[in-house]
Amino acid sequence: MAKITFGIDIGGTNIECGLVSDERIIWRSTRKTEAHLGNEHVMAIVAELVKLGLENTGITSDQIAGVGVGMPGLVDAERGISVLSSNLHFQDYPVADRLTALSGLPVCIENDVKMYVYGEATHGAGQGFGHVLGLTVGTGLASALVMHGNLYSGAGFAGEIGHIPLDGVTQPCNCGLVGCMETIVSATGMARQATQALEQGQISILASKRGHLRGHLTARDVSDAYDQQDPLAVSIMNYTGRTLGIVLSYLYPMLHPDIIIVGGGAAKAGERLLAPAREALRERLLPIYHDTLRLVKAERDEDAGILGSAAWASKQFS
């Protein structure tokens, strides 16, 4: 019998839950996270989703190998504790134990970016590659490294590349530092670049966007304007892509990954972002790296979190 696991992604807005059998999502559902209603409330929603999955599919508890949960922030995977998730208002909370008590199933937890990249490594663009470096470019920027099916953890806070400081960038970051990579390479960073340029009087079709009039330009607006050859949008996309490539050129000689996968909301820009990134990276890499350089878009963007958490649970409870 195939091993069946739940893969769950607790995000700031939604909780995504999937039932994964034979490496396919056979059932999925979503609920609002409503983190402001408290930790117990969030746990209850997850437990409800698990119950619903079993009811809707007719699968019984004893057919389930385990539940994998990805969540933002710092996770103590060994003890199943959310050490700190500012987003979700969790602090030193025993997520795994609590969910096991509510569902009667074995539960493991991990950081959500790790689970997303694990999903891409096992079911997406990283399949068949040994060392997979994955980035999520969304509101912020983070990364994870999968090494032949194992997660790189470091001393606990590994993968926080959004806060690599860049020379010549003066934008303050939410973290308190100045010039962090994610002030440029993120959906927020791209939108901010556009808004600031318009405020400085630059001419662009972005000025006529409803989003701009409301003060809410998005990375998507920039991407659309790029497709209309808007010079400001082209300039922002190239600069953002090249900045990504430059930071990757710092990491590449240390890590020598077999493949780099870029996912998350802003990655929808695809080659608009990745082509300049690849160019900047290649210019700055030793020739020995050129032949095997792979910088690609995520393939399972919507499903990677669920697939990764489910695969991770499958590995933990095998």
Shortest separation between residue 62's beta carbon and its own copies, angstroms = 35
Q: Report how far residue 62's alpha carbon sits from residue 147's, in angstroms, rounded to the nearest whole number.
A: 31
Cβ count within 10 A of residue 162: 25
Taking CB under 8 A as the criterion, the residue among 157, 196, 203, 270 binding its own copies is 157
Q: Report how far residue 295's alpha carbon sits from residue 251's, in angstroms, rounded to the nearest whole number.
A: 13
Shortest separation between residue 294's beta carbon and its own copies, angstroms = 10
Question: How many chain residues bind its own copies (CB under 8 A)?
Answer: 40
Shortest separation between residue 176's beta carbon and its own copies, angstroms = 7
- Contact between 92 and its own copies by CB under 8 A: the answer reads no
Q: Report how far residue 176's alpha carbon sits from residue 179's, in angstroms, rounded to the nearest whole number.
A: 10
Give all strands of the β-sheet with 295-297 in edge-to-edge order: 150-151, 141-147, 131-137, 259-263, 295-297
Q: Report how far residue 4's alpha carbon sits from residue 46's, in angstroms, rounded to the nearest whole number.
A: 17
Give the nearer residue to its own copies in terms of CB position, either 127 or 292.
292
Q: Which of 106, 98, 102, 101 is nearest to 81 (CA)?
A: 98
Taking CB under 8 A as the criterion, the residue among 18, 106, 245, 257 binding its own copies is 257
Give the nearer residue to its own copies in terms of CB position, either 142 or 197.
142
Shortest separation between residue 154's beta carbon and its own copies, angstroms = 3
User: b/e map of 233-252 (b: 16 or more CB within 10 Å)?
Assistant: bbbbbbebbbbbbbbbbebb
The residues that bridge with 143 in the sheet, in sequence order, are 135
Contact pattern from residue 202 through residue 241 relative to its own copies, giving x for each residue in contact according to CB under 8 A and a dash for the rest: ----------------------------------------
Taking CB under 8 A as the criterion, the residue among 30, 211, 284, 317 binding its own copies is 284
Q: Say which amino acid occupies 82.
A: S
What residues numbered 98-137 form the site for its own copies, per CB under 8 A?
130-131
Contact assessment for residue 111 and residue 73, using Cβ atoms and an 8 Å cutoff: yes
Shortest separation between residue 127's beta carbon and its own copies, angstroms = 16
Of 105-113, 174-182, 200-208, 260-268, the window that binds its own copies (rule: CB under 8 A) is: 174-182
- Residues near its own copies (CB under 8 A) are 130-131, 143, 145, 147, 152, 154-165, 167-168, 175-177, 246-247, 249-251, 253-258, 284, 286-289, 292
